[in-house]
Amino acid sequence: MIAVIQRVSSASVTIEGKIKGEIKTGFMVLLGITHQDTQEDIEWLGKKIIGLRVFNDEEDKMNLDLKTVGGDILLISQFTLHASTKKGNRPSFTEAAKPDVAIPIYEKMIAFLDNELGRPVQTGEFGADMKVGLLNDGPVTIVIDSKNRI
């Protein structure tokens, strides 16, 4: 499971001209799910996202986590994070989980983050054509792969 985490001042996702989810301060997270992901990946990555200390403290140092600053999460499924570009110019997505595997994992991640954060995360819609807008704060962008823990 791969997450691209962007610290944002605001972010939103629009589907068919209607805002599906939006946040102010917090994380806009693109989540790529592979067919090898498990509950252990959900919990490990979810705790990393919630505990990531990249918000500025009173001394302007990145030292505070999402809960401390009262931030929110906008979670967007993104199968293209598992693109392989080794051969040719057309990416291969064979490592990305098919919807029958990915949707339940995505839903479990939403539930895990809801519980850890203590309030609902905002989401896109799995498989939809989404328009994502954000104001990256910093900019701060972190990539975490649950398969690269050491």
Residue 34 belongs to a domain with what CATH number?
A: 3.50.80.10
Q: How far apart are CA 4 and CA 47, in angstroms?
A: 14
Q: How far apart are CA 14 and CA 145, in angstroms?
A: 26
Give the tokens for residue 27. Answer: 């994380």
Tell me whether residue 34 is in a domain: yes
17-55 pLDDT tens trace: 999 999 999 999 999 999 999 999 999 999 999 999 999
Tell me whether residue 150 is in a domain: no
Residue 80 falls in the annotated catalytic set? yes
Tell me whether residue 67 is in a domain: yes
78-125 pLDDT tens trace: 999 999 998 889 999 999 999 999 999 999 999 999 999 999 999 999
pTM of the model: 0.94
Q: Which of 38, 68, 80, 94 is catalytic?
A: 80
Neighbouring C-beta atoms of residue 126, cutoff 10 Å: 15
Question: Could you say which DSSP state residue 35 is in?
Answer: T
Range of the domain at 47: 2-145
Tell me whether residue 131 is in a domain: yes
